[in-house]
Amino acid sequence: AQGSSQAPRPEQGGRRITRDFLQELGSRECPWRFRFTADELVELAEVLRLPPILVTHHRYNVPRIEALALTCARLARPGDIYDLVRDYDRSASAISEIINETVCLIDATWAHLLDFDHNHLLSPHNLSNYAAAIRRAGAPMSTIWGFIDCTLRRIARPTWFQRPAYSGYKKYHALKYQAVII
């Protein structure tokens, strides 16, 4: 509409996601975009039992690797869907439908494993046990029972407590503040 203050949408472009495209991205770019390597995405699509070709409600025919990769890309980055339109050569409506149907398919197949477990692992008794173990390890509070996976805050050359501050995964010293309490 004329006079609209809305920013223009980016043009559809980029490349469709294929196994070859994922391999070309390499070992740094692929995990940055999708949080998985190319080989992991291929294996995950098979393990999740996604059909070789996903046919959506509006008859988009999508290879399972593309459907899973679009879903992972959407969940991996905070940007809007138009970033995916620009990068992966599909319309916003197609991407939205592909992602929604992929998530519904995964949920329908694996819901029994994704259900919230409040009777066993996350029972009040077990949460108390987890909190006690974390307290024994040196936590300043007695009600912390878990830590949310979050972005680490990098710190420079700590004089004290270097070992607890070192992240073996990221290969640098960092602090993480997000915890879940009872």
Q: Where are the domains of the chain?
A: 19-114, 124-181
SS (H, E, C) 34-60: HCCCHHHHHHHHHHCCCCCEEECCCCC
Q: Is 56 left (phi over 0), alpha (psi -120 to 50) or beta?
A: beta
**Model confidence over 115-136: pLDDT tens digits?**
777 788 888 999 999 999 999 9
**Model confidence over 103-117: pLDDT tens digits?**
999 999 999 887 777
Which of 48 and 77 is assigned the larger pLDDT?
48
Summary mean pLDDT of the chain: 89
Confidence of residue 90 (pLDDT cuts 50, 70, 90): very high
